Amino acid sequence: MTIPCRTLTLLTALLLAPLAALHAAETPPRPDWVLEGTAPWQARDSQAEWVFKDQLWIGGGWFQSHEAPPRDVWASADGKTWKLVEKAAPWLHSDLPMNLTFADKMWTMAACRDTRRAIRSGLPPTA
């Protein structure tokens, strides 16, 4: 028995339509972000980030493996205008920190130094 092509097309469409609708429902909308300018702090990797007292905060991070890590802390209420809050925070190492806010304080813990160099060499990072 031969099934006409039109019938196969219709059957395929009926079988795949629920899957396509399911996929469309699961696809999140794309963000409509707009670049608002350049922040006054130097671009960095693996910095601390917090949301605290209705502001965004960043601190520390990593510039280069052979440079001292930044120890600055910046805050912004709108993500456009940034204020330097602390030029030399008390931490020595601030690469890949764990960050949280708790009990009306900002916390940074478990930051490392020379993490990338250690990963490349197979050695544990220096705490």
71, part of any domain: yes
> What is the structure's pLDDT at 81?
93
20, part of any domain: no
25, part of any domain: no
109, part of any domain: yes
Note down pLDDT in tens along the chain; length 127 residues. 555 555 545 555 566 667 666 666 667 788 888 888 889 999 988 888 999 999 999 998 888 877 788 899 999 999 999 999 999 998 877 777 888 899 999 988 866 665 555 555 555 555 4
CA 87 – CA 103 distance, rounded (Å): 24
What residues make up the domain containing 91?
A: 48-121
29, part of any domain: no
> What is the structure's pLDDT at 8?
47
**Count of domains forming the chain:** 1
Q: How many CB atoms lie within 10 A of CB 112?
A: 19
Name the region of 37 (left: φ>0; alpha: ψ -120 to 50; beta: rest). left
79, part of any domain: yes
